[in-house]
């Protein structure tokens, strides 16, 4: 089973909280498994923070009266008009498909919606697409996307390589049903404090380690060493704070809680979202502000990472580096077997949502952005940090192909279409 009694608590709170007319917009999400023989079919809604709430840098979070916030919420509500059924009772009927016309060929659908999107690189279970275009929105103040303080160092030392006329959007499509995987730890480097208990760590996890930042290339080298035959790509991941560097929100990988994060209930209350992966199924849903034992971190879910709602205030209308994750149900069986990862040099939050939607996403979560946004596939940098000196990051997500990737690979010849 994916999640346990925490789901019931969230469902109760969702109904108990007052919801404004704007908040009544349906929020697309993956409904989750509950204890047999129940079936989960619930449309949760996000309750935005009050206008007085601010994040660590004093930047106000999403306000219902902001036009950019309203536009973002309206766009997010169009991801899907349907809830997704998941039945866990053995011997029960199969869940109804998401729609009567499921997408049989996502590549064909993508080509129609994004004629300028090109397949760049593929491996078993993974495909990388790229779109390059002109973007005349001059929004280079990356740090405004960092509501939480980022790594130690001078973030004002920016790079002009990404001009307002050049923009790149990358989409990784990861098919769990073909054996491809996400390593949410990503060969993360932990200092000795990881072994120490941290009583004040969020959600009763006792895990809030210092995580030394390193270059994405170093992340890739460590990831490649850990998975020499299947390592495909590394992508920036978690929000983080500096001095010393710690992760802001929880990460659990291969059954182990890496960090409970330092933010807890003090920041972005009601706006945390989680990506949960179990076997060949991915889920995106609101993350509950609960401790042990009701938090899903303490459930049997092996892989879980927390980010922010796609419309949380990270400079909604600024065209800057963005990293988002979406999920898709390509075969229409009611289970999301496909993970979509967007890495964009210049995108607003609405841009990111729309792009994921065009690739079939039914839900999304926002990861760290700005100068942290960067990715490397098969040893080649496809999008670099916008900082003058590429930003070192404490956490990167690793992508594993479904089958072995040759040691002496040539990125130009592996599975190109």
Boundaries of every domain in the chain:
106-400
Give this prediction's pTM.
0.74
Question: Closest by alpha carbon to 172, among 119, 127, 108?
Answer: 127
Question: How far is residue 308's CA from residue 43's CA, in Å, rounded to a whole number?
Answer: 18
CB atoms within 10 A of CB 398: 27
Q: 395 and 374 in contact (C-beta within 8 Å)?
A: no
pLDDT of residue 331: 87
Q: 270 and 46 in contact (C-beta within 8 Å)?
A: yes
The helix-helix angle for 349-358 and 67-76 (nearest 10°) equals 10
- Buried b / exposed e across 193-221, counting CB within 10 Å, b at 16+? ebeeebeebbbbbebbbbbebbbbebbbb
Of the segments 157-161, 205-209, 401-405, which one has the largest average pLDDT value? Answer: 205-209
> Which of 245-259, 286-300, 402-416 has the lowest average pLDDT?
402-416
Query: How many Cα atoms are found within 13 Å in the side-chain-facing hemisphere of 77?
Result: 13
Quick: pLDDT tens for 262-276.
Answer: 999 989 999 999 999
pLDDT of residue 403: 77
Reply yes or no on whether the pLDDT at 161 is more than 70. Answer: no
CA dihedral (350, 115, 122, 386) positive or negative: negative
Can you list the positions of beta strands (E) in 180-334? 181-183, 231-236, 240-241, 246-247, 251-253, 256-259, 272-278, 281-286, 303-308, 320-328
pLDDT of residue 195: 87
pLDDT class for 134, splitting at 50, 70, 90? Answer: confident
Token pair 């089973």: residue:
1
Quick: pLDDT tens for 15-69.
Answer: 332 222 223 222 333 332 222 222 222 222 222 332 233 232 333 344 555 888 8
CA dihedral (300, 302, 363, 127) positive or negative: negative
Reply yes or no on whether the pLDDT at 150 is more than 80. Answer: no
Reply yes or no on whether the pLDDT at 412 is more than 70. Answer: no
Helix (H) or strand (E) holding 364: strand 361-366
SS3 assignment, position 285: strand
pLDDT class for 138, splitting at 50, 70, 90? Answer: low
Mean pLDDT rounded to a whole number for the chain: 74
pLDDT of residue 410: 54
Quick: pLDDT tens for 302-342.
Answer: 999 999 999 999 998 899 999 999 999 988 899 999 999 99
Token pair 């210092």: residue:
210
pLDDT of residue 110: 40
The token pair that represents 156 in the structure block: 């004002």
CA dihedral (239, 242, 248, 253) positive or negative: positive
Give the pairing type, strands 303-308 and 320-328. Answer: unpaired
pLDDT class for 298, splitting at 50, 70, 90? Answer: very high
Reply yes or no on whether the pLDDT at 281 is more than 80. Answer: yes
For residues 132-159, average pLDDT: 51
pLDDT of residue 65: 56
Quick: pLDDT tens for 335-384.
Answer: 999 999 999 999 999 999 999 999 999 999 999 999 999 999 999 999 99
Of the segments 58-72, 140-154, 381-395, which one has the largest average pLDDT value? Answer: 381-395
pLDDT of residue 107: 43
pLDDT of residue 408: 57
Helix (H) or strand (E) holding 170: strand 167-175
Question: How far is residue 331's CA from residue 101's CA, in Å, rounded to a whole number?
Answer: 10
Q: 390 and 97 in contact (C-beta within 8 Å)?
A: no
Looking at per-residue confidence, does 251 or 417 come out higher?
251
Quick: pLDDT tens for 203-239.
Answer: 999 999 999 999 999 999 999 999 999 999 999 999 9
The token pair that represents 402 in the structure block: 């479904």
pLDDT of residue 63: 52
Question: How far is residue 399's CA from residue 377's CA, in Å, rounded to a whole number?
Answer: 9
pLDDT of residue 80: 61
């Amino acid at each position: 089973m994916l999640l346990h009694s925490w789901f019931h608590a969230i469902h109760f709170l969702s109904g108990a909280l007052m919801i404004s007319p704007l908040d009544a917009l349906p929020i697309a999400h993956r409904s989750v498994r509950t204890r047999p023989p129940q079936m989960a079919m619930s449309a949760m809604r996000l309750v935005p923070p009050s206008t007085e709430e601010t994040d660590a840098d004093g930047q106000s979070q999403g306000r219902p009266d902001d036009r950019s916030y309203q536009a973002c919420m309206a766009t997010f509500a169009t991801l899907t008009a349907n809830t997704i059924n998941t039945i866990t009772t053995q011997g029960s009927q199969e869940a109804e498909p998401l729609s009567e016309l499921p997408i049989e060929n996502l590549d064909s659908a993508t080509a129609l919606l994004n004629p300028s999107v090109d397949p760049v690189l593929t491996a078993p279970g993974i495909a990388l697409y790229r779109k390059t275009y002109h973007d005349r929105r001059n929004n280079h103040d990356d740090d405004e996307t960092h509501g939480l303080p980022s790594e130690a160092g001078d973030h004002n030392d920016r790079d002009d390589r990404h001009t307002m006329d050049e923009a790149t959007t990358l989409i990784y499509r990861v098919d769990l049903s073909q054996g491809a995987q996400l390593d949410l730890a990503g060969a993360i480097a932990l200092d000795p404090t990881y072994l120490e208990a941290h009583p004040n760590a969020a959600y009763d996890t006792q895990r809030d380690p210092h995580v030394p930042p390193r270059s994405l290339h170093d992340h890739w080298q460590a990831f490649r060493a850990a998975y020499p035959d299947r390592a495909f790509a590394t992508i920036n991941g978690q929000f983080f704070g500096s001095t010393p560097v710690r992760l802001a929100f929880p990460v659990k990988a291969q059954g182990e809680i890496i960090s409970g994060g330092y933010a807890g209930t003090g920041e972005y209350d009601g706006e945390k979202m989680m990506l949960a992966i179990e076997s060949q199924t991915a889920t995106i849903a609101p993350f509950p502000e609960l401790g042990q034992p009701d938090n899903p971190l303490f459930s049997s879910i092996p892989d879980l990472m927390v980010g922010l709602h796609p419309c949380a205030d990270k400079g909604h209308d600024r065209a800057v580096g963005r990293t988002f994750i979406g999920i898709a149900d390509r075969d229409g069986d009611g289970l999301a077997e496909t993970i979509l990862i967007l890495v964009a040099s210049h995108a607003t939050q609405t841009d990111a949502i729309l792009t994921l939607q065009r690739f079939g996403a039914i839900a999304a979560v926002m990861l760290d952005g700005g100068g942290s946004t960067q990715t490397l596939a098969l040893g080649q940098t496809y999008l670099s940090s916008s900082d003058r000196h590429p930003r070192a990051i404490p956490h990167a997500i690793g992508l594993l192909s479904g089958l072995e990737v040759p040691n002496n690979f040539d990125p130009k010849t592996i599975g190109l279409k």
